[in-house]
Amino acid sequence: MSGDSPEQIRKETRVYVTVFVALAALTIITVAVSYLHLSGWRAIGLALFIAGVKGFLVAGYFMHLLSEKKLIYTILAFTVVFFGMLLWIPHVEKDGFGTVQRDEVTVPEGEH
C-alpha cells in the first residue's frame, strides 16, 4: 500500500473519486449495451468484459490490490484456481469431457 503522508493520502483521495466516476460511466455503458439486445455469446462476453473492468477498478484501487503484500496475492491465486474449478466442474458433468458423467451415476437398489 502507498505511504501515509498527508500529501499521499490526498492524492489517493483524488484517485478514489476518479475511479468512482469511471465506475458510474461503465455502469451507464453496461445498461446502454443491454438495450442493443446483442445475440447470446456477444452479449454475455461484452457484459462480463465491462463487469471485469469494473471489478478490476474496485479490487485494484478501492481494495488496493495493485500494491499489496505477497501473501495476499498467494491467497488470491489459490482462490482464483478453486473458483475456476467451481465454474468448470458443472461442464465436466454436462458435456462428459471428464471422468464424471451424470449417466454413470447409479443409485443402488433399495435407495430410491
Partner 1 sequence: MEMEIPYTVHERPDTGLYNGKLGIWLFLASEVMLFGSLFSALVMLRTGAASWPHGYEILNIPLATLNTFVLIASSVTVVLAWASLRLGDFAKGKLYLIATLGCGGIFMIIKAIEYGTKFSHGQFPRTNNFFATYYTLTGLHGLHVVGGMLVFAWLIWPGAKMWLHERQRYINRVETTGLYWHFVDLVWIFLFPTLYLL
Contact set with partner 1 (CB under 8 A): 4, 6, 9-10, 12-13, 16-17, 19-20, 23-24, 27, 30-31, 34, 43-44, 47-48, 50-51, 54-55, 58-59, 62-63, 69-72, 75-76, 78-79, 82-83, 86-87, 89-91, 93-94
Q: How far is the CB of 100 from partner 1 (least distance, A)?
A: 13
Least distance (Å) from partner 1 to the CB of residue 75? 5
**What DSSP string runs through 2-68?**
----HHHHHHHHHHHHHHHHHHHHHHHHHHHHHTT---HHHHHHHHHHHHHHHHHHIIIIIS-GGG-
| CB closer to partner 1 out of 69 and 112 | 69
Which residue, 5 or 108, is less far from partner 1 as judged by CB? 5
97 contact partners, CB below 8 Å, separation of at least 6: 91
Contact 29, 50 (CB under 8 A): yes
